[in-house]
Amino acid sequence: MSERSCPKCDAALAAAAEACPSCGLAAAHFESFAAAELEGPPPELAPLWQAVVAEWDSVPVHEIFLSAAARLDAFVHAGRLYRRAARERGSGDPRVVAGLERVRRMAEAAWLTRPPAESTSESESQDNGAYRTAALLLLSLLLLASLGGIAVYIVRTLRPGDAQDGQVRPPPTQHVRDGVGN
């Protein structure tokens, strides 16, 4: 069985693997991820990353870069740059490990603190509400019609004085008092 490597974390994968067991990237996304990795960072981050590379062991330079990435919401690009550094410097480099972990934590925090996105516009939500109302009205009418049909069936088949054996008997006759009907 031939092996390949994950484009995100370089973990060795079996040829039939559907996802990377290390980072979880789905095999269906390998090609698009590899193509996206070739993109450069946003113009505002490029010079800051060059400063990071030039002064790799300087913690404040890393912090400036990470702050700019957070301000620009460019966590994807920051993660890509640190992953490239991991391939160049080795995945055990303490600055690579710290940078990747920091990018991950900042991206999670940003994601968790964002307000929920409006999935539909106002008019779509109103249309959806009108549809729901019409559907509930129709369902209610069908239920009432069914109950009415059942009630009519019961009234027609079980009249007062009906025998329990299922035979329908004629209605009782009126009593005649003093020769005059009631």
Classify residue 24: in a domain, yes or no: yes
Classify residue 148: in a domain, yes or no: no
**What are the tens digits of pLDDT across the range 126-158?**
667 788 888 888 999 999 999 988 888 888 887
Classify residue 31: in a domain, yes or no: yes
Q: What is the pTM of this model?
A: 0.54
What was the pLDDT predicted at 115? 82
Size of the chain, expressed as the number of residues it contains: 182
Classify residue 61: in a domain, yes or no: yes
Strand, coil or helix: 3: strand
**What are the tens digits of pLDDT across the range 27-45?**
888 887 777 777 778 889 9
Res 54 pLDDT > 80: yes
If asked whether residues 80 and 99 sit together in one domain, one would say yes
Compute the average pLDDT of residues 116-127. Answer: 62
Q: How many CB atoms lie within 10 A of CB 127?
A: 12
Res 116 pLDDT > 90: no
User: How many domains is the chain partitioned into structurally?
Assistant: 2
Q: What is the mean pLDDT of the chain?
A: 81
Classify residue 25: in a domain, yes or no: yes
**What are the tens digits of pLDDT across the range 72-113?**
888 888 988 898 898 888 888 999 999 999 999 998 888 888
Strand, coil or helix: 60: helix
Residue 86 tokens read as 């991991």
Q: How many Å from the N-terminal Cα to the C-terminal Cα in the chain?
A: 101
Instruction: Please report, rounded to a whole number, the percentage of residues in the chain having pLDDT higher than 70.
Output: 79
Classify residue 149: in a domain, yes or no: no
If asked whether residues 22 and 67 sit together in one domain, one would say no
What was the pLDDT predicted at 1? 47
User: Which one, of 113, 78, 112, 70, lies nearest residue 98 by Cα?
Assistant: 78
If asked whether residues 89 and 66 sit together in one domain, one would say yes
Compute the average pLDDT of residues 11-25. Answer: 83
Residue 21 belongs to domain spanning:
3-37
What was the pLDDT predicted at 6? 82
